[in-house]
A = this chain, B = another copy of it.
Amino acid sequence: MPTAEPEHRHPREVPLQGALAALADPVRLTLVRELAASADWERSCGSFDVPVRKAALSHHFSVLREAGLIEQRINGARRVNRLRRAEFDERFPGLLALVLADVESGVGADA
């Protein structure tokens, strides 16, 4: 059960390089895209279908918090998430839209 509130960084404090690096990873792209398709605070950290173990997943969420992409809060025994869409859009206009639109591009994701 999570006990301490996780630390966050507001998108306005995030350097461009950190935002790009956070999104340049297939697991984190999946997390962001699934969050974009879900209501705020609906998704717990364990609810995502990604092929990584718990410690790695925890690291990915930490990178997303540091990049200003997500906000987390504790809700009973779960840690729940929301995409910081509006704040992130304000800091990096168009970047999230590009990432979310690219799902269907058909260009190999293996390179």
Q: Which residues of A contact B (CB under 8 A)?
A: 12-18, 20-21, 23-26, 29, 66, 92-95, 97-99, 102, 105, 107-111
In the complex, 29 of the A-B residue pairs with CB atoms within 8 angstroms, ordered by the A residue number, are: A14-B107, A15-B107, A15-B109, A15-B110, A15-B111, A16-B29, A16-B98, A16-B99, A16-B102, A16-B107, A16-B109, A17-B25, A17-B26, A17-B29, A17-B111, A18-B111, A20-B20, A20-B23, A20-B24, A21-B21, A21-B24, A24-B24, A66-B111, A92-B98, A93-B98, A94-B94, A94-B98, A95-B95, A95-B98
Question: Residue among A98, A99, A110 with the most chain B CB within 10 A?
Answer: A98
